[in-house]
Structure 1
Amino acid sequence: MSPRRIMLVAALLIFAGAGRAADRPNVLLVITDDQGFGDLGAHGNPVVKTPGIDAFAKNSAWLKNFYVSPVCSPTRSSLLSGLYNYRTGVVDTFLGRAMMRPGVRTLAERLGEQGYRTGLFGKWHLGDNYPLRPEDRGFQTTLWHNGGGLAQPSDSPEMKPATAYFDPVLIRNGREVKTKGYCTDVFTDAALDFIAADKREPFFAYVAYNAPHDPFEVPDSLAAPYRKLDLTAAGFPKSGQPWAGPKVNTEQIAAAYGMIENIDTNFGRLLKALEEKKLADDTLVIFMTDNGPGGVRYNAGLRNRKGTVYEGGIRVPCYVRLPGRIKPGHVIEQPAAHIDLTPTILDLCHVAAKDSPAFDGRSLTALLAGTETSWPNRTIFLQWHRGNAPERYRAFAARGPRYKLVQATGVAPENTLTPKFELFDLKADPFEQTDLASDRPDEIAALKKQYDDWFTDVTKTGFDPVRVHIGSEHENPARLSRQDWRGPNAGWTADSLGYWEAFAERAGTYEFTVRSRTGFSRYELDLDFPENKQTVGPRVSGPVATPDDNKSPILQTKVNRTLPKGPVRLTARVGDVNKMRGADYLEVRFVEVAK
């Protein structure tokens, strides 16, 4: 090939690469779990070691006033849909309330339809069974854990909670696998393999670390150096609000900081891979967290922590980098939120949203580029409390461009709600130290009216239970855990009892396996059909033989039943003649079509 032809081909390749970077950048979205605003060196923490994230922050645009929900699942549903979480059906983190409605379209689906390779590595927390799994929601490559975290009732029966973060059993592309290593390292390894797999099409890698969420399991070599430091409030800067919580546990803080340092190392591995593969200039990188800190520790003076609608529970780090299109070092003061990231990413990737309803969020592209001159004012709404459905005025915040209305009480639904409305001027008082409610009744009334209109709108479709499907060709068998059962006595304690709302996709014979982590001599299985308001046949029950292997962590029994197609409520109890309790797992396998 002649030198002139070589130069022409090189120029065309450069032009093609620049066009793809401008039109279809890769997307690396990294979100951590329970890492608060104060859990970064870049945010004034003098103890935790986060040099990689701190350096990334300097070369990125900073969404300084970035908001998420007070807890995990609501944040993730909004992040991946561009909608307020109530529109997605997600109201809480467990007991069937963290399951995103199948009809909600995700960012992964939208990008995948435009030729993106899509992968999820880490925490999903929007439904463990078909049709709610990440494999069902647009993610083509997956490695994830069930439920809201490792060491929870949704773990594989083979896992031990005390060591769940090490060599965890995870789900890879729909199948359980035993992995080797510390969980954050394992998820990063999988993400790196995905990024390196194919350069022909752009990728969307959603890396959702489950750390530093409790139970604070971490290699001792990472926690040990922090134990030598003063991890009480005396060892940190004095500004804003005092630490929120009844007791400081320095051992947990040391472990959390070790987990965060490990996150920083793995985030650095991801960025290094982009550099080595010459993808850094073609990749939109976002680093964020899902809510405030999950423990009592330094939070940069913000008020309170995870689970509250004060700033310490809902304002989190968010940094965005895309060379050539996003202004590095740019600080964006305008309030933004999780609902904005899907429309922003689609905008930067030149992917049009073709369906309705419109997003609740806005594209932040102009703000990130530093070209926006007239950003319209708006109010961002955040609410969370326990219960099957949202209730007006319980634990909510309405964050306007300057003032923030807070009604923080009512997280526990069994408590009688007596609303207490507070008003803060966040420009003058970012630490929420001075309540202006009595001084500015007009501002209170205006924000309250906006909240009322919003609440009516986002809850109008109701909150019927989202059902898991059994008998599906996509997941057979389906293993149900306490993560997604419901009922007034459902919970995670030893004596809890709940039921699963399911949908039988095929009429026929089903095999039910009742499992428990503790011994039982009897079982009961109820099958209730709400459409005809009856229980089919007598309750299935009987004695259980003692297994030969007394060391087995799971005791189980199996029974076959015939089900019609349609909704079914499943209740499994285990115990003895004196007391029955809810089973830890119910595995349902479709056996044969009804004759």
Structure 2
Amino acid sequence: MKSIPTAFVGLCVVATTVAATPESAATGKPNVVLVMTDDQGYGDLGCHGNPILKTPELDKLHAESVRFTDFHVSPFCTPTRAALMTGNHPGVTGAFRTSSGRTMMHPDEKTVAHLFADAGYATGMVGKWHLGDNAPHRPQDRGFQEVLWHRCGGIGQASDYWGNNYFDDTYERATADNKQGAFEKFEGYCTDVWFREGIRFIESHREKPFFLYLALNAPHGPYHVPPEWVKPYEGNKDVPNPNFYGMIANIDHNMGILRKRLDELGLAENTILIFMTDNGTSAGAKFKGLDSEAVVGYNAGMRGKKSSVYDGGHRVPFFIHWPKGGLKAGKEIDTIAAHIDVLPTLAELCGIPVPDVYDEDGISLKPLLDGKSLDRKHHVVQYHGGAHGKAMPPGPLAFSTVLTERWRLVNSNGQFLFDIEADPAQRKDVAAEHPEVVERLRGLYDPFWERVSPRMTPVRIDLGNPDELRTTLCSQDWRMEKGNPPWNFGAIRKLPKVTGPWLVDVKQAGRYRLTLRQWPAEADKPVVAVRAKVEIAGKEKEVAVEPGSKGVVIELELPAGPTELVTYLYDKQGRAGGAYFTEVEWMEDL
């Protein structure tokens, strides 16, 4: 395993295997380490019955933890993260899709990092954020004091550092005191880097309570991993994607390293360690359509995969381990629980009051952890549009599931009722036999829609924010009404053929310099266009593109306030597409 030449800014502590008594132990405040993987489903674990995939470290954690066996998240990346951070339904936060200007939370949404920072905890975030790349939406803007992250929704997506491919990549480091941050190059495989940097954060803050959000981009595609992790699964016809399994095996190995280090530092007993995933499997099985059962591979007997509102799309592992708090020894809880419950649960376990400003939809699961009952009647899972859907559902109940412990009212290409206790694979629609149940569950949906729909409104990116006076906008955040804008390295390699608006908020009036690029600045490639134009705040300016130019500069005086920015790059035939990247820099006051 290669070493990393850089460490967290200011983290010069050299850890030893003999630790002093940490403040968290002296005060009784537990530490928190929340590990979330990306696109790993419920069936992608040996302890959940997978007959091929080997996950000994996660199996051990499973055996030593309290497990929620009916735990639900959103069907895909961004909404799960928004709910996890805020305790609110994704639609309430404003971050309910994975691109198209709908990955950012409303600025008034407070996060679990704010909560713990205000309570005196050191807060750190490592890995995948996927809740906005620009102020005021970055992790360092949202309560995390130390951050090492990749932009966008995955390594190799459009706003990620150009050329990143999971190996020896460049990531952004920032702190609460230096929110602008800086890019640093790291040696090694991405998952190894995230765990090593997470451990560095723990070592640096072991003398006081800390909250670490370790959000892995693996095993999200593209499915890259060192070959030694793939070898055990190659050539097996029952393994749909050997690289996907290898990525999980690597995660498992790193979980063992993390737990060992916590133990060496004397922190394991009083650290709340959570393992969970963000949605159903993406490549652990093959399916005949989004909502089918697995035809190759293992999906724990569930129907549906990532992006499905059937259980396979949103029922995921959730292990919580805290020996000092009595959370150990393999207890199982089958009551419905969800991502929106994590914030209130952690707050109560750590003795942190939650101010009313959080207004969370979730409830604390502590009564269940204490062996008591919980008044949880139902939960709603909603898929709010996507690459082939509308910005919002066409109406109530579209692409949703209303869950109770017995029933699932599924709305996906029709409406179906399943008795999940008798039919966990969701094969038999029993709506005709139980019309009263259908009617009752439909009624439970209405308050949910009334709660989320008013908040599914545009969220804007700041221009001229003092914490980011020079911001780089990426086409993945064009607010399109249908489909997705160019959002990955493959899409931005093509000549621009479409454009869309960035919804922005000019925070201070003044003169701004806009630099339009076809490629990110670090790619060092020319713009293939003859003319360029911008439209913003009722202003329009067009300029000629110098041959070989790598960035087209346009300066404008802009008033403060919300507006839209649209860019155009014209070819010789007059066809236009948007600048995939536009740097906006505040120059001076008017």
Residue 460 of structure 1 aligns to a residue in which SS? Answer: helix
Pick aligned residue for 1:255 from 233, 236, 243? 243
Q: In the alignment, is residue 402 of structure 1 matched against residue 394 of structure 2?
A: no
Unaligned runs of 5+ in 1: 1-12, 233-249, 410-419, 530-534, 548-554
Question: Residue 430 of structure 2 corresponds to which residue in structure 1?
Answer: 436
The verdict on how the C-alpha distance between 1:581 and 1:459 changes in structure 2, with shifts beyond 3 A counting, is same
One-letter code aligned to 1:392 = P
Q: Which amino acid aligns with 2:275?
A: F
Contact 2:86 2:358 survives alignment (8 Å): no
Q: Report what 2:317 is aligned to.
A: 317
Q: In the TM superposition, what whole-angstrom CA distance separates every residue of 1:436-485 from its partner, at most 9, and x where no partner exists?
A: 11100000000001102221122234x33111111122112100112211
Aligned to 1:113: 118
Deviation, 1:84, is 0.7
Aligned positions of 1:534-545 closer than 5 A? 535-536=538-539, 538-545=540-547
3-state SS of the aligned residue for 2:119? coil
1:581 aligns with 2:577: yes
- Say if 1:42 and 1:523 are closer, same or farther in 2 by CA, change over 3 A: farther
1:45 aligns with 2:50: yes
Cα-to-partner distance string for 1:328-383 (whole Å, 9 max, x where unaligned): 210101110001111000010000011246421111112123x21x3224110010
* CA deviation after TM superposition for structure 1 residue 186, in Å: 1.1
- Pick which of 350-359 and 89-98 moved more: 350-359
Amino acid aligned to 1:177: E
Shift of 1:287: 0.1
What is aligned with 1:86? 91
- Pairwise CA RMSD: 1.8
Number of corresponding residues: 531
- Determine the structure 2 residue equivalent to 1:508: 510
The reply on whether 1:57 has 2:62 as its aligned counterpart is yes
Q: CA deviation at 1:77?
A: 0.6
Contact 1:523 1:572 in 2 (8 A): no
How far apart are residue 388 of structure 1 and its match? Answer: 2.8
Is 1:274 aligned to 2:265, yes or no? no
Match of 1:576, as an amino acid?
D
Q: Which amino acid aligns with 1:353?
A: V
Question: Normalising by structure 2, what TM-score?
Answer: 0.87
The Cα shift of 1:573 comes to: 2.0
One-letter amino acid matched to 1:379: H
Q: Which residue of the partner structure matches residue 303 of structure 2? A: 303
1:469 paired to 2:470: no
1:289 maps to which residue?
277
SS of aligned partner of 1:574 = strand
Cα pair 1:327 1:368 within 8 Å, conserved:
no
Check conservation: 2:150, 2:160, Cα contact below 8 A.
yes
Query: Aligned match of 1:389 in 387, 392, 409?
Result: 392
**Alignment-derived partner of residue 292 in structure 2:** none
SS class of match (1:280): coil
Change in 2 beyond 3 A, CA 1:15/1:513: closer
Report the CA distance shift for 1:563/1:347 in structure 2 as closer, same or farther (over 3 A): same
Distance 1:488 1:399, change over 3 A: closer
Q: Is the contact made by 1:500 and 1:571 (CA closer than 8 Å) also made in structure 2? A: yes
167 and 16 in structure 1: CA distance in 2 versus 1, 3 angstrom threshold: closer
**Cα distance, 1:113–1:15 mapped onto 2, change above 3 Å:** closer
**2:312 counterpart letter in structure 1:** G
Assess if the C-alpha contact under 8 Å between 2:512 and 2:587 holds in 1. Answer: yes
Q: Is the 8 A contact 1:520 1:544 kept in 2?
A: no
SS of equivalent to 1:334 = coil
Measured after TM superposition, the shift of residue 567 of structure 1 is 1.8
In structure 2, the partner of 1:196 is 203
Partners in 2 of 1:17 and 1:460 — Cα distance?
41
Picking from 539, 542, 557, the partner of 1:562 is: 557
CA pair 18-120 structure 1, distance change in 2 beyond 3 A: closer
Question: Counterparts in 2 of 1:66-215, with a 5 A limit?
Answer: 66-156=71-161, 159-160=162-163, 164-173=165-174, 174-215=181-222
1:246 maps to none
Query: Corresponding residue for 1:237?
Result: none
Q: Which of 236, 258, 265 is 2:253 aligned to?
A: 265
Aligned residue in 2 for 1:28 = 33
How far apart are the structure 2 equivalents of 1:293 and 1:205?
25
- Counterpart in the other structure of 2:6: none
Secondary structure class of the residue paired with 1:539:
strand
Q: Secondary structure at the match of 2:335?
A: coil
Amino acid at match of 1:460: P
State the 1:14 CA deviation. Answer: 8.1
AA matched with 2:499: L
Letter in 2 for 1:375: L
SS in 1 for 2:35: strand
Call closer, same or farther: CA 1:17–1:539 in 2, change over 3 Å.
Answer: closer
CA deviation map 1:384-433 (0-9, x unaligned): 12333344221000001211111023xxxxxxxxxx21111112221112
Asked if structure 1 preserves the Cα contact closer than 8 Å seen for 2:402 and 2:409, the reply is: yes
Contact 1:514–1:557 (Cα < 8 Å) also in 2 = yes
Deviations along 1:184-226, whole A, 9 cap, x unmatched?
1111111111000033320000000000001112122222331
Distance in 1 of aligned mates of 2:555 and 2:374: 61
How many angstroms does 1:488 deviate by? Answer: 4.3
Aligned-partner residue type, residue 583 of structure 1: A
Q: What is the CA–CA distance in structure 2 between the aligned matches of 1:562 and 1:393, rounded to whole Å? A: 46
Alignment partner of 1:521 out of 526, 529, 543: 529
Cα distance in 1, alignment partners of residues 42 and 77 from structure 2: 15
1:303 and 1:311 in contact (8 A); partners too:
yes
Residue type of the partner of 1:527? E
The amino acid across from 2:485 in the alignment is G
1:35-65 CA distances to partner (integer Å, 9 max, x unpaired)? 0111100011122221101100000001000
Counterpart position of 2:330: 329
Q: Is the deviation greater in 297-306 or in 75-84? A: 297-306
- The whole-number CA distance in structure 2 between the counterparts of 1:212 and 1:14 is 36
Amino acid in the other structure paired with 1:294: S
2:587 alignment counterpart: 591
Partner of residue 243, structure 1: none
SS at match of 2:564: strand
Higher CA-based Rg: 1
Distance 2:22 2:274 in 1: 26
One-letter amino acid matched to 2:122: R
Structure 2 matches for 1:482-497, cutoff 5 A?
A: 482-488=475-481, 491-492=485-486, 493=491, 494=494, 495-497=497-499
Q: TM-score, normalised by structure 1?
A: 0.86
2-structure distance, mates of 1:14, 1:587: 48
Name the residue aligned to 1:225. Answer: 232
Deviations 1:503-549 (A, max 9, x none): 111211111111113741324232332xxxxx22x4323123215xx
Match of 1:426 in 2: 420
Q: Structure 2 counterpart of 1:425, which letter?
A: D
- Cα deviation, 1:65-113, whole Å, max 9, x if unaligned, reads 0000001111111111111111111221101111111110100000000
Per-residue deviation, 1:19: 5.6
> Percentage identity across aligned positions?
38
User: Is 1:506–1:564's contact at 8 Å kept on the other side of the alignment?
Assistant: yes
Partner in structure 2 of residue 3 of structure 1: none
Q: Secondary structure at the match of 2:551?
A: strand
Q: Which moved more, 1:174-183 or 1:308-317?
A: 174-183
> What is the CA distance between 1:15 and its match in structure 2?
12
Tell me the CA shift for residue 231 of structure 1.
Answer: 2.8
